[in-house]
Amino acid sequence: MEPKIYTGTPYPLGATFDGQGVNFALFSEHAESVELCLYNDTDEEVEVLKIKIKEKTHQVWHIYLNGIKPGQRYDYRVHGPYRPQEGHRFNANKLLIDPYAKAISGTVQWNDALFGYRIGAPEADLSFDDANSAAYVPKSVVVDNRFDWGEDQPMRIPMHRSVIYEVHVKGFTALHPDIPENIRGTYAAMGHPVTIAYLKELGVTAVELLPVHHFLSDRHLIDKGLTNYWGYNSIGFFAPDIRYASGGTQGDQVTEFKTMVKSLHAAGIEVILDVVYNHTGEGNEMGPTLSFRGIDNASYYRLTEDGRYYMDFTGTGNTLNARQPNVLRMIMDSLRYWIQEMHVDGFRFDLASALARELHDVDKLSSFFDVIHQDPIISQVKLIAEPWDIGEGGYQVGEFPPGWAEWNGKYRDCMRDFWIGADSMIGEFANRLTGSSDLYQGDNRRPSASVNFITAHDGFTLQDLVSYNDKHNEANGEDNNDGESHNRSWNCGAEGPTDNIEISHLRAKQKRNLLTTLFLSQGVPMLLAGDEFGRTQQGNNNAYCQDNSISWLDWKNMDSSLLTFTKSLIAFRREHPSLCRRKWFQGLPIRGTGVEDIVWFLPDATEMDDFHWEDDFARSLAVFLNGEGIRSVSQDGTKITDHHFYLLFNAYWEDVEYQLPDQRYGTSWIKVIDTNLDTISEHAIFEANSRVSVPSRSILVLMSS
């Protein structure tokens, strides 16, 4: 029985089920006509019903079908001019995914019919292809948003109390022996009690999931037997990717994702999504026509002056046109959807500088920031920028507006340099350790604007950082030419795996040094999944295409002592507000003590002077943190205080003897962390003015008794 057809409404965009039927709405400013195509569950190629949409309001084509239910599969065909030189690439032979689809039934099956032009034609993309692509395009799915959230509410863990865990949904559980095999690598596995128990014991407060928006695996990767494992190639900004669902193709992935979020929230763990709004998976002018390109290429993408080519600030072939009001609205609608319907707690924006470009320059007063800043929903969640893109002037660390946190690439580089003994200013080390005030304080931001990390998905793991001088990306099939060549890494004396006991011990200590530095630093620590137990990618620092044991966490061969050490570090940070301050150090005396909130010392216990900060060869220093100088109060107004701490850093290759300061700073000190050891516990007591030997390449943390 054919559904009854009504005019429908232009908003909300996408397919919206109201209990009786579905309203379909699609934005296209330049289309001449639009057809809605409905499909059943068995035939991917021939639609069971094709309806010409007659209503258009404010550039939105809309129709209402009474009797259509959740699970209905659909896509569009859009008619209009095919004039690439003018920016128009309409081709109604190509079936198109709804940009607002809440679920997508499958994945793209690569075929020449997916391209709007004839592959191999002399005119290249100026030619026109009339092959029907329906058999190869996944179908959009109508979903029912109803879900029993129970008492689930936004968690809003304060940013300065957060510990972020960057994790890939599939890679985290693909090899986990205690997760049922039939759900490994899925949202269900991510929300499984075994996973949640591990995350709670580790002590993290949020998981930052690598992209889960439905994405495209590039044809050249598929042809080589590889895939786009990381997922930075979105084609559906509202749809959780079906590849991470344990079963079902009719929108079941939406329910499974919500169940995962609900379970993580019940355990006190927030969910942050890594999102890619800077480009789509359709690539440049030689890419396929799957959705945006065929719906309204000139509106959705940033094009060059002649219209044929794409402006590429992302290295992927195209850049979404966030300056266009309807495209900006799509991004904002997507963000609100994930907050309100999927209950996520924040976002990390991939290549965020690309979104902030007005014409060519990055502009922190751009419409993108303005809209987010005034939005009562989006502005209240965690907003984290990857503050760079590949365009000129795209490196914008420290330049995002208030309300934003940033991946601090300068922190990563500085701390790696310090621990391999590279020549770098000791002053920068001090800045990074204390929250990078040189980057964030001047714009009324706080230390929590700095998301500190040593490693991330892009680059070496922690184990590989101390095991390889050079990248080893041969498995990627690009002759080891891909990936970063300057990694600020050190193999400690042998490239890759070794049986040398001394080298193995040094690597273990360097890992403890880097992790300890991360969790002693002001700002928000981010830990790459698996670094807590020594995960390796065999030297591959660009494993974006490795959906296999190179990328998956190896639970059977974990370093249990490193895992225990990391758990203790995270717990230590959580217990001591001195290490996660909400406000900046001021370097001023605290009333009643006469001692500043932070003081820097040379090994001989003399305070560091201005000229000491200019040393590019200094490897050793100490810092006093005054537990009376936190300058914050708890929610009930109680002044927050803590023990005093004396942190001793020695990145030098020989032991250094330190003298402790006088009794004004503390009468006695307990050694609570020693990175020469693989456990964290109280070890020894030192009196004021006594001498302490700090072994080569190590950290000692002393706490006032």
Residue numbers annotated as active site: 350, 386
- C-alpha 432/C-alpha 620 separation (Å) is 15
Q: Are strands 450-452 and 524-528 parallel, antiparallel or unpaired?
A: parallel
Q: What are the tokens at 378? A: 């989006």
219 neighbors 110 (Cβ within 8 angstroms): yes
Question: Helix and strand tally (H, E) in the chain?
Answer: 14, 30
Give the residue among 146, 110, 87 at the shortest CA–CA distance from 294: 87
Strands (DSSP E) contained in 536-627 are: 598-601, 620-625
β partners of residue 5: 65
- C-alpha 162/C-alpha 167 separation (Å) is 15
Cβ-in-10-Å burial (0-12, 13-18, 19+) of 177 comes to exposed
Query: What is the DSSP track for 245-288?
Result: -SS-SSSHHHHHHHHHHHHHHHTT-EEEEEE--S--TT-STTS-
- C-alpha 483/C-alpha 459 separation (Å) is 8
- C-alpha 579/C-alpha 585 separation (Å) is 11
Peptide linkage before 12 cis (omega within 30 of 0): yes
Q: What are the tokens at 531? A: 């670094």
Number of Cα atoms under 13 Å in the Cβ half of residue 190: 33
Taking the alpha carbons at both ends of the chain, their separation in whole angstroms is: 80
Residues 6+ apart with CB under 8 A from 598: 434, 585, 587, 623, 624, 625, 626, 629
Put residue 436 in one of left, alpha, beta given phi > 0 → left and psi -120 to 50 → alpha. left
Helix (H), strand (E) at residue 627: none
- C-alpha 434/C-alpha 63 separation (Å) is 56
